[in-house]
Amino acid sequence: MFLALGVKDTYTLTERGLMSETNQVPFKKIIWRNIIFFVVTTFLGIVGGAIYLFTHGLSISELLLFAFFTLATPLSITMGYHRLFAHMSYKANPIVQFLFLFFGAAAFQQSALKWASQHRVHHQFVDTERDPYSIKKGFFYAHIGWLMFWYHPVDYKNVGDLKRNFLIRNQHEYYPLWAIGAGILTPLLIGALTGHLLGALLFAVCARITLVYHGTFCINSVCHMFGKATYDIYSTAKDHWLAALITFGEGYHNYHHHFPIDYRNGVRWYHWDPTKWLITILAWMGLATDLKTISKYKILAARLRAKHQSVEDVLKGIEEHPKLELLREKVKAHYEHLKNTLAEWEHHAVEYQSAIRGKMESSKEKVYETRRRFKQGLKEWQALSSQILQFAKA
């Protein structure tokens, strides 16, 4: 599937087959092509790489080539395949798009069109039978098993927007050429020119492919298992800084599933999200535009709603408590008050912004006043909710 050199799911612009396969759930099938590819690259990259290190050492040029491909290929997946093509969370210059498609193909994670189609299905049907890499089928399945033992029919109907892009179409139609050219021949050519052909094969091709694979795979496995559900408590997608560290910022996955249109996954300034920072740099350079973000008020509202749901769930589980009704009333009143203050704060802030733009009398005081009230209410809410949540743990 990852290599997919032709066969079943090959898409042609004229036939656009497989539409009839919509709604099909994957069936068990050993995908030998993928298994062989995984085994060969992993073995050569790890065992071959270790022997080479021991016998030859590693030159600076080999190290640089390996480092370059280990950064360029996963970033083309996160910045390009994921946030640009699958979610359209910003627009990019065609040269940038080409680079994403080139180094994205080098990652051997299928064409951008197929990747985006499956990823959109993942978001739409997360944790259900139709989720291509559902964590409900276990860690191994979500991580790599879905590529080894299951056949996934792809319905390209959900990527009609991407099919209109010539570069994406071309990369899809000639994917084997793109993947082999970018992911194998290019590093080998550079290796040959610098006198390190074998080193390039073992490190910049095999070890790098293995490393990048497991980094990407962690998004479907680790990020759906470990961490906090900050925005949607019922989703398996989780936020975890450590997962973000190994996935170039994709580890804030609960946020991402809740607000997939945001070009950021880590929304706070200190959240480790190099993908977001690089997209911002592209925008400063004029190479990316229309960066979509969710307003901080909507984000706060979602966090409050999630916390409220957790508290409500705990309260529902309590059968007998002398002050249960009183507690329920208190939670309800606090939450409603906080929601209203937040809406008021947003209203004044928006009004203030338009006042600045129109150089009219501003209402700065009202913004500060409602923000102060919101923060005060938030403190009380946090104390109340953690008291209730602690009670559930006791």
Interacting residues toward Zn ion by CB under 5 A: 237
CB of 119 to Zn ion, least distance (A): 6
Q: How many residues does the chain have?
A: 394
171-192 per-residue burial string, b: 16 or more CB within 10 A, e: under 16:
bbbebeebbbebbbebbbebbe
Distance of closest approach, residue 87 Cβ to Zn ion, in angstroms: 6
Q: How far is CA 275 from the centre of its chain?
A: 10
Which C-beta is closer to Zn ion: that of 136 or that of 372? 136
| Closest to Zn ion by CB, 62 or 232 | 232
Q: Which of 214, 303, 309, 308 is nearest to 267 (CA)?
A: 303
Q: What angle do CA 263, 103, 82 make, to 5 degrees?
A: 25
The closest residue (CB) to Zn ion is 237
Residue among 75 and 200 whose Cβ is closer to Zn ion:
75
Shortest Å, Cβ 85 to Zn ion: 11
CB of 42 to Zn ion, least distance (A): 24
Q: How far is the CB of 39 from Zn ion (least distance, A)?
A: 26
Using the Cα atoms of residue 217, residue 223, residue 225 and residue 226 in order, give the sign of their dihedral.
Answer: positive
DSSP code of residue 151 = E
Please report how close the Cβ of residue 120 comes to Zn ion at its closest, in angstroms.
Answer: 8
Q: Looking at the DSSP assignment, which residues form a beta bridge with residue 106?
A: none
Across the chain, which distance is largest between two alpha carbons, in Å?
79
206 vs 222, beta carbon nearer Zn ion: 222
- The helix/strand count (H/E) of the chain reads as 19, 4
Q: What is the separation of C-alpha 58 from the centre of its chain, rounded to a whole number of angstroms? A: 33
At 387, list the tokens.
Answer: 């008291």
Distances (CA, A) of 70 to 92, 97, 335, 362: 22, 19, 46, 50
Q: Which is nearer to Zn ion, 69 or 141 (CB)?
A: 141
Q: CB of 131: closest distance to Zn ion in angstroms?
A: 8
Is the CB of 87 or the CB of 348 nearer to Zn ion? 87
Q: Which of 374, 348, 372 is nearest to 362 (CA)?
A: 348
Q: How far is the CB of 114 from Zn ion (least distance, A)?
A: 15
In three-state secondary structure terms, 92 is strand
- Min separation Cβ 165 and Zn ion, Å: 18
Q: With contact defined as beta carbons under 8 Å apart, do 264 and 78 qualify?
A: no
Question: Locate tokens 């109907």: which residue?
Answer: 157
Q: Closest CB to Zn ion among 206 and 288?
A: 288
Task: Compute, in degrees rounded to 10, the torsion defined by CA atoms 79, 214, 219, 25.
Answer: 110
Of the two residues 43 and 125, which places its CB atom closer to Zn ion in the complex? Answer: 125
How many C-beta atoms lie closer than 10 Å to residue 162's C-beta? 22
| Residue with Cβ nearer Zn ion (133 or 203) | 133
